[in-house]
Amino acid sequence: MWKHIADNLARIRARIEAATAAAGRPPGSVALVAVSKTHPAEAVQAALAAGQMVFGENRVQEAAAKFPALRAAHPGLRLHIIGGLQTNKAREAVRLADVIESLDRPKLAAALAEAMAKEGRRPDCLVQVNTGEEPQKSGVARAEARDFLRACREEWGLPVRGLMCIPPVDQDPRPHFAFLAGLAAREGLSVLSMGMSGDFEAAIAEGATHVRVGSAIFGARAQANWDQRR
């Protein structure tokens, strides 16, 4: 019943390869993060069987229910937490994740630093930038991003590797992707998580190293209250 996942993955990978080549970038320079939120462990297993090893989840509780057993069976699996993260979930996120993509405020930075010290794990962190300055979205403001990045590194000693953004749905995403790429270059950051099901080719053209694709792989989500992190 999960054959469509393998077929969808093949199509998305082909599109990523084509966009990477069109941008003049080396083959394999863009990683696919398969966003599996609200989908059962069986769907993730089908993706694993098709060779997908990197997954994204929004909610720590859901990730905790699905991924420990999957990781035990697939040691190469990598899990990204891509949703807004509450400070009281910081320790569990550090315990579970390989990458935390939604670092966006000082209180969370402090909680993650404390959790990493306690857990003895240091998952990579990405700073989420609210490139559209949208009040309903998480993310540090453009004007505050550089100061926040420095504080994350110098004050809290976090392993910040890159940036993430979610452009406004009613705007051309390319200027947002270009802004994020420029900020990453100025700050010496190598990871850019940007681009979703509807715009990942544009993100690749602007330098994305990771694209987050969910419904185009797994199909319609099981819940109606999903956001735009796919």
For the stretch 4-42, pLDDT in tens is 999 999 999 999 999 999 999 999 999 999 999 999 999
Provide the residue type at 40 as one letter: P
Residues of the chain above pLDDT 90, percent: 93
DSSP β-bridge partners for residue 212: 33
User: What is the per-residue pLDDT for 219?
Assistant: 87
What is the pLDDT averaged over residues 58-75?
Answer: 96
How many Å apart are CA 138 and CA 28, to the nearest integer? 30
Is pLDDT of 118 > 70?
A: yes
Residue 228 reports pLDDT greater than 80: no
pLDDT of residue 226: 37
Q: What is the pLDDT of residues 137-161, one digit of tens each?
A: 999 999 999 999 999 999 999 999 9
pLDDT digits (tens, 9 = 90+) for 168-223: 999 999 999 999 999 999 999 999 999 999 999 999 999 999 999 999 999 876 55
Q: Which CATH class is domain 3-215?
A: alpha beta
* Whole-number pLDDT of residue 220: 76
Amino acid 72: pLDDT: 95
Name which of 79, 86, 49 is nearest 64 in CA terms. Answer: 79
Distance (Å, rounded) from C-alpha 27 to C-alpha 219? 27
Q: How far apart are CA 218 and CA 89, in angstroms?
A: 26
Q: Confidence class of residue 2 from pLDDT cuts 50, 70 and 90?
A: confident
Confidence (pLDDT) at 175 = 98
User: Please, which pLDDT band fits residue 62 given cuts at 50, 70 and 90?
Assistant: very high
- What integer pLDDT is reported at residue 1 of this predicted model? 62
Enumerate the domain spans of the chain: 3-215
pLDDT at 123 over 60: yes
pTM attached to this predicted model: 0.94
Alpha carbon distance 130, 151 (integer Å): 18
